Structure 1
């Protein structure tokens, strides 16, 4: 069954609501997560929760209301790598990386985020979240990233933002519409 949730992002200084979708019943088909796009392959978005609900209805999608979503900041999120790495920073970076991958998949683009070195960076970030299901009680993992690994992460994020920027549906503000 395909389900849809509101996913709020900060991108180019604007808070935007996307419709994130997943189909967990078809694992044999690979990752099916994505964001809602229009018939022209443009990513649809809204400014307010009400607009997002109306947008979902326009596309015949029902948003799950009981699924909380945290804001994913896509404006330079890799700058977090300059800070001391924490569980929260790893979580923020993994959320941004995953969402950018979903965006790319939705519009038929490649995030080009696979390969031995990039996979190692992703795995270190994932392990750095220290999820209880994967981290033994009393243990804690704090990843350390080489300069080359930080560069790879930045490349993935930059490519993702370029894809997102190129495929966002055009929107005008009420002020731009006024004569």
Structure 2
């Protein structure tokens, strides 16, 4: 199964903008309605499978590094949202599980230790018994802790960074 990961190029720039907006919407929804991960966050329209290992064309390398990082981080957040929904509904989905397994076998994951830990905690929680009280199970509890860290590192930090950037313009 070959994965078609996104590559930012001149001809994919419009898609990049649209997908970036979807990440912002997901982050906004998480922050205003949940203050973290919860059931039913609006992530479904963002294709985390394509953006988890997204890359940039050499010509655009210097122009959008922070935005590309946010897009890739958003892929992990969206995947976490899907895993939480599956666990809350006491369901499993082979497509999600297979994506996690494939991502863990991608050599690039070794350069991303935090993401690897998050993926492993998702995989372990999905391998536990099916139970609506999944957060009380050992791997489910570990996953909740890891997702809280994902939220703080990526979602909360995104808004904090925007605020700090905005403050720079106010100070003269």
Q: TM-score, normalised by structure 1?
A: 0.35
Query: Which of the two has higher C-alpha Rg?
Result: 1
Structure with a larger share of its residues in helix: 2
Structure with a larger share of its residues in strand: 1
